[in-house]
């Protein structure tokens, strides 16, 4: 405390102004420079990787589509070969030619054409002589027919799938696909290399198709939608552009001469690079990626102007500069504003106030030797106030507990006084209250509800204060008029409690603890769920105590007999749910028999209503 007074405390207004101003401008300038430098490189690398991924995805999907069609062609051709096989699995040229000329030989082709209507322009299956069924082959133009014939000859010669690029008569680009089918095996007893077996080592058939490249247009359009500004193209083995999508003629001409395309023609690998495209509008740097279509040996090219590819990085630079300038200005205004505020100390004061409001009266506002003068004075006054408030609240709590204990003691004394009117019911209310609370706990109800049930059970017979002692202590059978007076104790008790606000929630236990589940109870004949739960609980506890204590009109039951009796009254007198909780408490040993009082004399009256 001596050190804190030796040095004058600084003025908060002046210190905050310079602190906020410098702490705002310096980090913003440094972070802006680092963000521009580092993130630009990261975004450019990311854009390159994205272009690579787009080209590879296109190439893989185009290859997969062509491979799928190739497999369908192969299956169709193998079906025709199987149809011409002899009993030993061999196939000769004579039988194969006959199978190709047989009616329905083109059925498999028609099914295949129907399944691929959007992508297949023509289908055919030819033997080594070039004869066989076809679908729409006669409709082809010269260029497409020549491409199909060239693919057939190459597949026959190499025994490998062959692809050729062509265009239909209307200029639509297509790919001629030829797939060789299993080799010929000479028929049994026929010499190898004979007239029918000259084809012995080559494919038995060649299945060919003309595939519309327009069918893969959606692939290119999808990539263009995912990455605006991208252009795609299909290149041949010699580096020629076979087909383009999203590429204007000027860009197509520049792409055809790019070094990336030339290198791909020499080595069909995944390549990425940049080239300069010269045009009438000036030169443009292009970012290009080329990936091989494994099925055909062609290449998929994806390209984008460098300005478009790195547009995100350029936006980052501009946005960073603008935001930094705005934040510097904001820091200046914020420093001026914060200098006039006691920001952090006020926040601590508010937080401590919230804790006190929530009941934590021991909270204090902490200060340090460097705390500002105003804050230290305010914290000291606040802490003294909190300390006094804590002391007052503690005294109030002690007084409240004393009043509560006095209130509960008064209730117990009142209940005991009522029970004392009849020597056989002494302690009855306390026992009923204890069993009622046990049942409530077994029902899983809260502590607050358990307390209300306990108080209600303690006062359930308070109305007997208005019943004549002559009737309460009568050893003989009650007359009808006397029994009506006895039943009135429920209504009298409820009226006694009604003016007492703190006990109004317990009135249902007093008024309706003699109601029956089947509606035959009193005083109001309530039935089922209309009987409040607190009254249903007290009814079971009241009956249990009445059964297990000696009364003028009955000998006390043992625990098992009393439990059996209560179980038998489920559905008529008691709620099954409450009885189930009571039985659970009995099984756990939580319900015990009360101390036995002397048995009644020889004069015993008839059993009254349970728990009366």
DSSP labels for 289-358?
EEEEETTTTEEEEEEEEHHHHTHHHHHHHHHHHHHHHHHHHHHHHHHHHHHTS-HHHHHHHHHHHHHHHT
Most confident of 208-212, 364-368, 399-403, 592-596: 208-212
The residue with greater pLDDT, 303 or 506, is 506
The answer on 536 and 440 residing in a single domain is yes
Q: Please give the pLDDT value at position 147.
A: 87
CATH number at residue 464: 1.10.3210.10
pLDDT (mean) for 60-74: 84
What the block records as the tokens of 259 is: 């070094």
DSSP 543-589: HHHHHTS-BTTBPPPPHHHHHHHHHHTBTTTB-HHHHHHHHHHHHTT
The answer on 543 and 465 residing in a single domain is yes
Could you tell me what percent of the chain has a pLDDT over 90?
Answer: 14
pLDDT in tens, 84-106: 666 555 666 677 777 777 777 77
The answer on 484 and 431 residing in a single domain is yes
- Number of other CB atoms surrounding residue 23 within 10 Å: 12
The answer on 318 and 302 residing in a single domain is no
From its phi and psi, is residue 528 left (phi > 0), alpha (psi between -120 and 50) or beta?
A: left
The answer on 579 and 445 residing in a single domain is yes
Q: Please give the pLDDT value at position 110.
A: 82
Task: List CB contacts of 557: < 8 A, sequence separation 6 or more.
Answer: 547, 548, 565
DSSP 44-103: HHHHHHHHHHHHHHHHHHHHHHHHHHHHHHHHHHHHHHHHT--TTS---HHHHHHHHHST
Decide if 440 is inside a domain: yes
The answer on 286 and 243 residing in a single domain is yes
pLDDT (mean) for 430-441: 92
CATH number at residue 303: 3.30.450.20
Task: List CB contacts of 534: < 8 A, sequence separation 6 or more.
Answer: 452, 453, 456, 506, 508, 509
The answer on 348 and 317 residing in a single domain is no
Decide if 126 is inside a domain: no
What the block records as the tokens of 464 is: 């007997």
From its phi and psi, is residue 387 left (phi > 0), alpha (psi between -120 and 50) or beta?
A: alpha
Q: Please give the pLDDT value at position 576.
A: 94
The answer on 436 and 561 residing in a single domain is yes
Decide if 180 is inside a domain: no
**Exposure on the CB side of residue 327, measured as CA atoms within 13 A:** 18
**CA 378/CA 348 separation, integer angstroms:** 11
Distance between first and last Cα of the chain = 74
- Domain of residue 330 covers 10-49+310-337
Decide if 91 is inside a domain: no
Cis omega before residue 523 (within 30°)? Answer: yes
pLDDT in tens, 14-53: 566 666 666 666 776 676 667 666 666 666 666 677 777 7
What the block records as the tokens of 62 is: 């185009």
Q: Is the separation of the CB atoms in 181 and 157 below 8 Å?
A: no
Decide if 194 is inside a domain: no
The answer on 578 and 433 residing in a single domain is yes
**CA 247/CA 27 separation, integer angstroms:** 46
Instruction: Kindly give the residue spans of alpha helices, DSSP state H, lying in 459-550.
Output: 469-472, 480-487, 489-497, 507-512, 533-547
pLDDT in tens, 250-261: 777 777 778 888
Task: Tell which residue, 272, 277, 287, has the closest CA to residue 256.
Answer: 277
Task: List CB contacts of 278: < 8 A, sequence separation 6 or more.
Answer: 254
pTM for the model stands at 0.43
pLDDT (mean) for 411-420: 67
Decide if 161 is inside a domain: no
Q: Would you place residue 581 in the very low, low, confident or very high pLDDT band (cuts 50, 70, 90)?
A: very high
The answer on 558 and 525 residing in a single domain is yes
Q: Would you place residue 427 in the very low, low, confident or very high pLDDT band (cuts 50, 70, 90)?
A: confident
Structural domain tally of the chain?
A: 4
Torsions phi, psi of 530, nearest 5?
A: -70, -20
The least confident of 191-200, 201-210, 346-355, 569-578 is: 191-200
Decide if 277 is inside a domain: yes
Q: Please give the pLDDT value at position 540.
A: 94
The answer on 322 and 303 residing in a single domain is no
- Number of other CB atoms surrounding residue 341 within 10 Å: 12
Task: List CB contacts of 240: < 8 A, sequence separation 6 or more.
Answer: 256
The answer on 267 and 357 residing in a single domain is no
Q: Please give the pLDDT value at position 191.
A: 43
Decide if 297 is inside a domain: yes
Among 399, 430, 446, the domain boundary falls at: 399
Q: Please give the pLDDT value at position 35.
A: 66
């Amino acid at each position: 405390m001596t050190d804190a007074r030796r040095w004058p405390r600084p003025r908060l207004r002046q210190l905050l102004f310079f602190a906020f101003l410098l702490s705002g401008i310096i980090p913003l300038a440094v972070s802006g420079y680092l963000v521009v430098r580092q993130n630009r490189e990261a975004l450019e690398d990311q854009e390159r990787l994205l272009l690579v991924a787009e080209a590879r995805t296109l190439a893989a999907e185009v290859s997969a589509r062509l491979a799928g069609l190739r497999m369908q062609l192969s299956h169709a051709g193998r079906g025709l070969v199987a149809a011409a096989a002899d009993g030993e699995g061999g196939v000769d040229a004579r039988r194969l030619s006959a199978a190709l000329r047989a009616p329905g030989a083109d059925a498999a082709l028609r099914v295949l054409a129907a399944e691929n209507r959007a992508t297949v322009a023509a289908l055919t299956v030819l033997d080594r002589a070039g004869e066989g069924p076809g679908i729409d082959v006669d409709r082809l133009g010269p260029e497409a027919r020549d491409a199909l014939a060239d693919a057939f000859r190459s597949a026959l010669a190499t025994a490998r799938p062959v692809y050729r690029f062509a265009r239909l008569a209307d200029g639509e680009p297509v790919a001629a696909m030829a797939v060789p089918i299993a080799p010929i095996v000479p028929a049994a007893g026929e010499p190898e290399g004979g007239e029918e077996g000259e084809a012995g080592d080559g494919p038995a058939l060649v299945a060919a198709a003309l595939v519309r490249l327009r069918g893969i247009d959606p692939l290119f359009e999808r990539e263009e939608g995912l990455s605006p500004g991208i252009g795609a193209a299909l290149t041949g083995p010699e580096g020629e552009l076979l087909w383009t999508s999203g590429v204007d003629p000027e860009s197509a001409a520049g792409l055809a001469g790019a070094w990336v395309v030339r290198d791909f023609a020499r080595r069909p690998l995944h390549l990425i690079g940049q080239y300069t495209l010269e045009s009438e509008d000036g030169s443009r740097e292009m970012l290009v990626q080329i990936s091989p279509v494994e099925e055909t040996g062609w290449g998929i090219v994806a390209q984008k102007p460098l300005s478009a590819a790195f547009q995100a990085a350029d936006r980052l630079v501009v946005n960073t500069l603008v935001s930094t300038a705005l934040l510097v200005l904001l820091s200046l205004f914020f420093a001026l504003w914060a200098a006039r505020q006691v920001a952090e100390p006020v926040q601590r004061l508010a937080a401590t106030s919230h804790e006190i409001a929530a009941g934590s009266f021991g909270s204090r506002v902490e200060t340090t030797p460097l705390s500002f003068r105003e804050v230290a004075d305010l914290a000291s006054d606040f802490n003294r106030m909190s300390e006094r408030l804590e002391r007052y609240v503690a005294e109030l709590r002690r007084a409240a507990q004393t009043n509560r204990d006095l209130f509960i003691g008064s209730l117990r004394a009142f209940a005991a006084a009522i029970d004392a009117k009849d020597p056989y019911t002494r302690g009855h209310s306390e026992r009923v209250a204890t069993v009622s609370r046990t049942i409530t706990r077994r029902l899983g109800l809260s502590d607050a509800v358990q307390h209300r049930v306990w108080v209600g059970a303690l006062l359930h017979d308070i109305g007997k204060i208005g019943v004549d002692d002559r009737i309460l202590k009568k050893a003989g059978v009650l007359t009808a008029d006397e029994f009506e007076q006895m039943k009135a104790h429920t209504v009298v008790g409820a009226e006694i409690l009604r003016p007492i606000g703190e006990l109004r929630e317990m009135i249902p236990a007093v008024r309706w603890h003699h109601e029956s589940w089947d509606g035959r109870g009193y005083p109001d004949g309530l039935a089922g769920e209309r009987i409040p739960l607190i009254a249903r609980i007290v009814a079971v506890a009241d009956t249990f105590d009445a059964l297990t204590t000696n009364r003028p009109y009955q000998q006390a039951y043992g625990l098992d007999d009393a439990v059996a009796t209560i179980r038998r009254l489920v559905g008529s007198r008691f709620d099954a749910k409450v009885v189930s909780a009571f039985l659970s408490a009995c099984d756990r040993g939580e319900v015990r028999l009360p101390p036995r009082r002397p048995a009644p004399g020889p004069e015993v009256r008839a059993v009254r209503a349970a728990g009366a």
